[in-house]
Amino acid sequence: MKRSRDPVIRSFIAYRVIAFLVALSLIPAAVVHGQASPTLRQLLYWEDSKRSSALMELRFDPSHWTAGQVLSHKPYAVVSSVGGTSSELKYQLQIWRGTAVREGSALMTEWDVLGISEQGAVSQVLVNYARVNKTYFDAPSQKDFRNLAGAETYPWADLPTDAEAQARGIAPLPADGFIDVYGILPHDGSIVFSAASRQVKALPDIPAQLTPEAPLPKTLPNEPVAAIPSDLGGHWSEPYVLDLMGKTILKGFPDGTVQPNRKLSRAEFVAMLVRALQVEPLAPPAVVYSDVPANHWASKEIALAYEIGIIETDGTGQFLPSRSITRLEMARVLAAAMPSFTPRPADGAAGLKDVSSLRESDQQAIRALANAGIVSGNDRGEFRPGDYLTRGEASKVLSQFLQARQSA
C-alpha cells in the first residue's frame, strides 16, 4: 500500500506514533480521594496524554469477563482477549475511538487498548492504536465480521462492504479520508475527512457477547390484534397503529381506546423506539438524568437510549420525560438510530418549506428520514418541526422506520 504519498494514511501513521510515544511515557494521574472516575464516554473527548493517564487509573472487576464480552455501546468497548501469559496483562480491553479509514480493500480503525491485570488494575495503555482488516471491503457482507474473530478489528458501525453497497444501491465507501463517528477529531485542517464521514453511524443493537457465529437478525412479534381499539376505525393511522400493536411496541388503554390524536411524551416515544430496536442492556441501568429516577416507569428505556447514543445530555442534567415531544425532537432521535446509508438517493426533504431555517444538523436529520420515506410534509409542504407528535404520527414513523431498517 502506498502510504507515503497518501495524506490520509500519513495522518493515520502519525496517530500510531503518538500512541506509541504516549504508551512509553505514561505517568498515573493523581486521583482525588472519593472522586468518581470519568466514564468511558467522557474520556472519548479528552486529549491523548490526559486520557491515557485517566485510563491507567481505572479499576475493573474482570472476574467474570469472557473474550468477546461487550462492556459499552458508546464508546464500543469489547474484551478482545482473556488469559494472557502475564498476570499483569491477563485481559485486553479495546475501546473504539469512533475513527476509521479506507485504503483500497483495507479498513483501518483506531482503538484505545488496555492491558488489565487479574486484580482489575490497568497495567498498560495504548491510545489511538491502529487495527487493520486487509480484506474488509472485499467481503460479501460486514456481517462476516460480527463475531468473535472480528473482535479486534470490527467496530460495530455500519460500514458497508462493496458488495453490500451495490446491493443497497449506494456508492461504495470512498477511500478519501477519516470517518469520525463520535466527533472526536479536530476540524483545524490537520485531518482529511471522508465525504461519507457524517453518514456512518454506530450500530445500536450490539450484542452483549460476541460468539463464533454472527448473531441472527432479531425479529419482532407480528401477531394480529385481537381487539381493534374503538377509536381507531377509519383513522388515517390505523394500519401503522395496528402494526405496532401487533409488534407489542404500542399498547392501548384500559377503556379499549388507543387515542391516536393524543400528544406523546418524550419518555413514551423513546420507550417505543428502544422496544423497536430490541437492544440488549449491558449492565443494570444507571441514572443519567436528574428528573428520571430509578423508579420512573421509563428509566430503563431512557438509560438504554443514552447508552447506545441515540439521546444525549444537554448540560442541564434533565430529560423532561413528561413534556410532549416535538416533531423535530422525534427526527433527531430517530435519525440517530437510522442505518448509516439509505438506498433512496432522492432528496425527500427538498419540498419541505419550513426546515431551511433550522440548524444544519437538524436539516440533515429530517433529510435522512425523508429520503428513507419515514417522514413527509403535509399537503402544504410543511414538516411542522415545532408541532407536537401524536400517537398516530409516532406509529407511522416507527412503522416506516422498521421497514427501512429491514431493507438496509
H-type helices in 199-265, by residue range?
Answer: 238-246
Contact (CB, 8 A) for 111 and 94: yes
Give pLDDT, residue 34: 37
With a cut of 50, say whether residue 23 has pLDDT above it: no
With a cut of 60, say whether residue 42 has pLDDT above it: yes
The answer to which of 35-44, 204-213, 346-355 has the lowest mean pLDDT is 346-355
Using a 10 angstrom Cβ sphere, with 0-12 exposed, 13-18 middle and 19 or more buried, the burial of residue 255 is exposed
Give the strand pairing for 77-82 and 122-133.
unpaired
Other C-beta atoms lying within 10 Å of the C-beta of residue 108: 22
Give pLDDT, residue 316: 86
The secondary structure of 124-156 as a DSSP string is: EEEEEEEEEETTGGGSS-GGGGSSGGGTTT--S
User: Residue range 356-380: average pLDDT?
Assistant: 89
Kindly report whether the peptide bond that precedes residue 204 is cis, defined as omega within 30 degrees of 0. Answer: no
pTM above 0.95, yes or no: no
Whole-angstrom distance, CA of residue 162 vs CA of residue 150 = 18
Give pLDDT, residue 232: 96
Whole-angstrom distance, CA of residue 213 vs CA of residue 354 = 47
Amino acid (1-letter code) at residue 262? R
Whole-angstrom distance, CA of residue 366 vs CA of residue 377 = 11
Greater model confidence, 404 or 135: 135
Residue recorded with cell 430503563: 300
With a cut of 80, say whether residue 255 has pLDDT above it: yes
- How is residue 121 written as a grid cell? 488494575
CA-based nearest residue to 73, from 281, 376, 346, 345: 281
Whole-angstrom distance, CA of residue 396 vs CA of residue 276 = 13
Contact (CB, 8 A) for 305 and 274: yes
Residue recorded with cell 485510563: 55
Give pLDDT, residue 283: 82
Q: Phi and psi dihedrals of 42, rounded to 5?
A: -65, -40
Spell 30-67 as b/e; 16+ CB within 10 A means b.
eeeeeeeebebbebbebeebebbbbbbebebebeebeb
The answer to which of 19-23, 96-100, 197-201 has the lowest mean pLDDT is 19-23
With a cut of 80, say whether residue 181 has pLDDT above it: yes
Say which residues have a Cβ less than 8 Å from residue 195's Cβ, sequence separation at least 6.
174, 176, 177
Whole-angstrom distance, CA of residue 262 vs CA of residue 153 = 46
With a cut of 90, say whether residue 386 has pLDDT above it: yes
With a cut of 70, say whether residue 16 has pLDDT above it: no
With a cut of 50, say whether residue 29 has pLDDT above it: no
Half-sphere exposure in the Cβ direction for 148 (13 Å, CA): 10
Give pLDDT, residue 169: 86
CA-based nearest residue to 175, from 165, 190, 185, 186: 165
Half-sphere exposure in the Cβ direction for 147 (13 Å, CA): 10
User: Residue range 198-221: average pLDDT?
Assistant: 90
Residue recorded with cell 438506498: 343
Give pLDDT, residue 123: 95
Give pLDDT, residue 368: 86
pLDDT digits (tens, 9 = 90+) for 78-98: 999 999 778 888 999 999 999
With a cut of 70, say whether residue 321 has pLDDT above it: yes
Whole-angstrom distance, CA of residue 381 vs CA of residue 176 = 36
Whole-angstrom distance, CA of residue 347 vs CA of residue 249 = 29
Give pLDDT, residue 38: 83
Other C-beta atoms lying within 10 Å of the C-beta of residue 370: 24
pLDDT digits (tens, 9 = 90+) for 110-149: 999 999 999 999 999 999 999 999 999 999 999 999 999 9
Whole-angstrom distance, CA of residue 345 vs CA of residue 12 = 31
